[in-house]
Structure 1
Amino acid sequence: MPLTGIWQLNVRRIQFSFKSLPAVVTLVFMLSSSVLFLCMLKHLIKISLTAKNLVGQVFFACVQCACILFIDLARHWPALIRYWTRVELIFNRPPYEMLKRNLTQRVRRPAIIIVGLSLIEHGLYVASAVLSYRRRAYYCIETHNSTSAVSFDNYIMQNYDYVFQILPYTKTIAIFILIANGACTFVWNYMDLFIMMISKGLAYRFEQISARIRKLEHEEQVKESTFIEIREHFVRMCELLEKVDNALSSIILLSCINNLYFVCCQLLNIFNKLRWPINYIYFWYSMLYLVGRTACVFLTAATINDQSKSALGVLRRVSSKNWCVELKRFSEEVHMDQVALTGMKFFRLTRSVVISVAGTIVTYELILLQFNKADKVNDCYEH
């Protein structure tokens, strides 16, 4: 999201420009991640593709696609956020009330948690890689009388050997690779986090509408104009949701594909024997974090649909004294409309889709198991 003016209170200060520091940083990052992508692609072509060694390539491909999609989103974001602000002004004054947990808390809390968990996950990845390298190096020194020293240079050369098949080794390039790899991990996590924060913001406003409707349940006399106003606000929120979905649906689709693939790959490796305890710690933490993050994305996005439907029961319980044509239209609209974010209109993020995703994971896992089994058979024939 290479934008300027994001810390300003006035949304009109938010701008997108390729001639800005955020845009330059984004382009530099894309260039460095592209180098990693191409180096790994050349390495995989050389050693042949399998279900397991393809994971890194898919990771870099997803990061590249995410960057392109976020740049495209940043181009449309200033206009979108201005429209969003105009709609939200309705809900920042009476008769709407601030809920127990305000919007700031609901957005910041998951952001802090996800960022913290992702830092732990990346830290365990680095710890696993470093300790595994040191154990292997000491084992070679003791067993095979190896003279290779345990050093930063040797660690980088072994763990990122696919890069130095093309680029010459220097300490500057080595440090840059570590920074780029960390940035790729951040983008990979940020994609899901962004969807969660957007979902929280939209669901909060639908929850305010539901809370206002519930307050009318016990009133003896409600004017028809009140239901007209609430219905207009509900329609405004649905229009905002549609605009957000048009801008965000490609990122949602990429996020879902990315999460499904990596969950399946982690499950594929669940029975693998690992050498050191740190490898087991990293593997299980990474798998549980990935599964939990994927579930949170789906369930958080599904709250938009849940909150839009939550007041339907109240509308149907309105007394006959307050029943009117406008109320009938409103209840039918809430019942019939599928208010939810989508993945390029292929599917809607509702609670029912979680069941479908679980079935998809099982199917995809069986395919990967067959693919991996075929790779093992081919390896046996080659040997």
Structure 2
Amino acid sequence: MNNQEKRPLGPSHWELYKMLEVNNFISMYTKKAEVEKTNIAKSGSKGALDRENNAWTVVKDLFLFAATTSFNTIIFIFIARKWPTVMKQITYCKLDEYIDQRVIFRSTVITIAIVIVGPIECALNQLALYTHILDCTPREMIDDPFRMLMMKKDNWIFDAEHVPYSFPLGIIIQVFNLIMSLNWSYPDIFISCICLYLVSIFDKINEKIDFALDKSLESWFWRSVREDYTQATRLVRMFDEVLSGITFVSLANHLFCICLQVYNILQISVKGGTKQKFPLKGCPNYPSGIFNGNEYTLYLACSIFLLVFRFLSVCLIGSRVHSAATQPSIALHGVPTKFYCTEIQRFIEQIHSDDIALSGLQFFNITRSLILPVAGTIITYELVLLQFNDE
């Protein structure tokens, strides 16, 4: 009786109270599940689809992609304001005789190669997303695949209640994403074409020097070549002043994207795929893609390959400016003694005293020696992330 007196209610009332509490919990849970099911049906992300973390999605879509392309646009606006001065300086240098006409073909090839890279990467990413939707959504609930793709890919837009989904809006967003992808690729094209132009000038100067090595020429010839070389170095410094900002942004962006994609690949390989972006456990239709469930892995592999291709293209083409600018010193050291003169000596000293290369805001010069430190930085970064992830 004492135990019963300690209870606020009698035994029957206590049991009834607990039963009502359990029933209320079950009812609340059932109602919540029905509300979530209704919301999923309205939003188009049906079935077992799990949304990405909204904070990371905003960072990825707004900062990494949209903000980067917007920043590129702002930089190119400043470049456009300086471009008339650049054209006047090119005309003043009078180096047209040294321009190789093949530079047009080379620039076209590199432009086509880089332009194709961006849409391919975007297409593979959307293929992985679409396959994940098909894998994890019951067949009877797939009514509008394009809507479900847009709700999955751009959920940071359509999650807002005042921005409902519509098909025309989805098309506009897809076109806008394609434009941003091309904008993202344009700095690499621009830098590569300018580097090819500068390299063609130095290559022609080097050919002129090689042709004159075994010939008895007056000092005025070597003076004219040295003056042309000086004008070419002025062009390099002028372009470096104009392009250093976009060069820094482009290479830094590639470095970040490479580190991110390498980390995602290591997460799949080291962790056995348990922490990949699209977890497939519990998906009723897996695999439903054309690549037997390996669409996301294929996207990561192609993405890292294309990113490395773009990074190496910019670095190797940009480093040729430095290599071509230092090449005359090797040839001039081979001039026979009987043809040696003061102008040749001045030419050699000028080449050794100048550091001719494009740079990224003067933080680094684009040379061949830049590639290995960057590779070491990527490896160190990945090892540190994996170590912290294990802990």
Q: How does 1:34-183 map to 2 (within 5 A)?
A: 47-48=54-55, 54-56=59-61, 57-87=63-93, 89-92=94-97, 96=98, 102-137=102-137, 140-141=138-139, 147-166=141-160, 167-183=163-179
**Is 2:322 the counterpart of 1:297?**
no
The residue identity in structure 2 corresponding to 1:116 is: I
Tell me how far 1:189 sits from its aligned partner.
1.5
Q: 2:133·2:148 contact (CA, 8 Å) conserved in 1?
A: no
**Aligned pair in 2 of structure 1 residues 278, 192: CA closer, same or farther (>3 Å)?**
same
The residue identity in structure 2 corresponding to 1:345 is: Q
The residue identity in structure 2 corresponding to 1:236 is: Q
**Aligned pair in 2 of structure 1 residues 122, 134: CA closer, same or farther (>3 Å)?**
same
CA distance in 1, matches of 2:207, 2:336: 18
**Aligned pair in 2 of structure 1 residues 129, 82: CA closer, same or farther (>3 Å)?**
farther
Cα distance per residue 1:146-201 (max 9 Å; x no partner): 64524322321222111112323222222111111111111112222211111111
Report what 1:190 is aligned to.
186
Determine which of 337, 354, 374 is the counterpart of 1:337. Answer: 354
The residue identity in structure 1 corresponding to 2:336 is: S
CA distance in 2, matches of 1:165, 1:368: 31
Tell me how far 1:253 sits from its aligned partner.
0.6
Q: 1:199·1:300 contact (CA, 8 Å) conserved in 2?
A: yes
**Is 2:214 the counterpart of 1:218?**
yes
Tell me how far 1:290 sits from its aligned partner.
0.7
CA distance in 2, matches of 1:104, 1:47: 45
CA distance in 2, matches of 1:370, 1:193: 37
Give the SS at the match of 1:128.
helix
**Aligned pair in 2 of structure 1 residues 284, 339: CA closer, same or farther (>3 Å)?**
same
Cα distance per residue 1:53-82 (max 9 Å; x no partner): 844332222212111111111111122133
CA distance in 1, matches of 2:202, 2:234: 12
**Aligned pair in 2 of structure 1 residues 333, 156: CA closer, same or farther (>3 Å)?**
same
Determine which of 195, 201, 214 is the counterpart of 1:199. Answer: 195
Q: 1:196·1:300 contact (CA, 8 Å) conserved in 2?
A: yes
Q: How does 1:304-383 map to 2 (within 5 A)?
A: 304-370=321-387, 373=389
Tell me how far 1:315 sits from its aligned partner.
0.5
Q: How does 1:232-311 map to 2 (within 5 A)?
A: 232-271=227-266, 272=268, 273=273, 276-311=293-328
Tell me how far 1:223 sits from its aligned partner.
0.8
> CA RMSD, aligned part only?
2.4
Moved more, 307-316 or 78-87: 78-87
Structure 2: which 5+ runs fail to align?
A: 1-50, 281-292
Q: 2:121·2:303 contact (CA, 8 Å) conserved in 1?
A: yes
Report what 1:13 is aligned to.
none
Tell me how far 1:86 sits from its aligned partner.
4.1
CA distance in 2, matches of 1:129, 1:147: 17
CA distance in 2, matches of 1:336, 1:357: 26
Cα distance per residue 1:177-228 (max 9 Å; x no partner): 1111111111112222211111111111011111110001121x11111111
**Aligned pair in 2 of structure 1 residues 197, 289: CA closer, same or farther (>3 Å)?**
same
Report percent identity of matched pairs: 28
CA distance in 2, matches of 1:218, 1:122: 55
Tell me how far 1:365 sits from its aligned partner.
2.5
CA distance in 1, matches of 2:70, 2:372: 29
Moved more, 105-114 or 254-263: 105-114
Cα distance per residue 1:1-24 (max 9 Å; x no partner): xxxxxxxxxxxxxxxxxxxxxxxx
The residue identity in structure 2 corresponding to 1:313 is: I
Task: Tell me the TM-score normalized by structure 1.
Answer: 0.76
Cα distance per residue 1:278-313 (max 9 Å; x no partner): 222222111111112111111110000111111211
- Based on CA coordinates, which of the two structures has the bigger radius of gyration? 2
CA distance in 2, matches of 1:61, 1:367: 27
Give the SS at the match of 1:169.
coil
Q: 1:55·1:265 contact (CA, 8 Å) conserved in 2?
A: no
**Aligned pair in 2 of structure 1 residues 157, 55: CA closer, same or farther (>3 Å)?**
closer
Cα distance per residue 1:251-296 (max 9 Å; x no partner): 0111111011111111101132365222222221111111121111
Q: 2:103·2:197 contact (CA, 8 Å) conserved in 1?
A: yes
Q: 1:134·1:150 contact (CA, 8 Å) conserved in 2?
A: no
CA distance in 1, matches of 2:384, 2:68: 21
Report what 1:27 is aligned to.
none
CA distance in 2, matches of 1:73, 1:154: 40
Q: 2:265·2:297 contact (CA, 8 Å) conserved in 1?
A: no
CA distance in 2, matches of 1:356, 1:147: 51
- Where do 4+ consecutive residues of structure 1 move more than 6 Å? none
Task: Tell me the TM-score normalized by structure 2.
Answer: 0.75
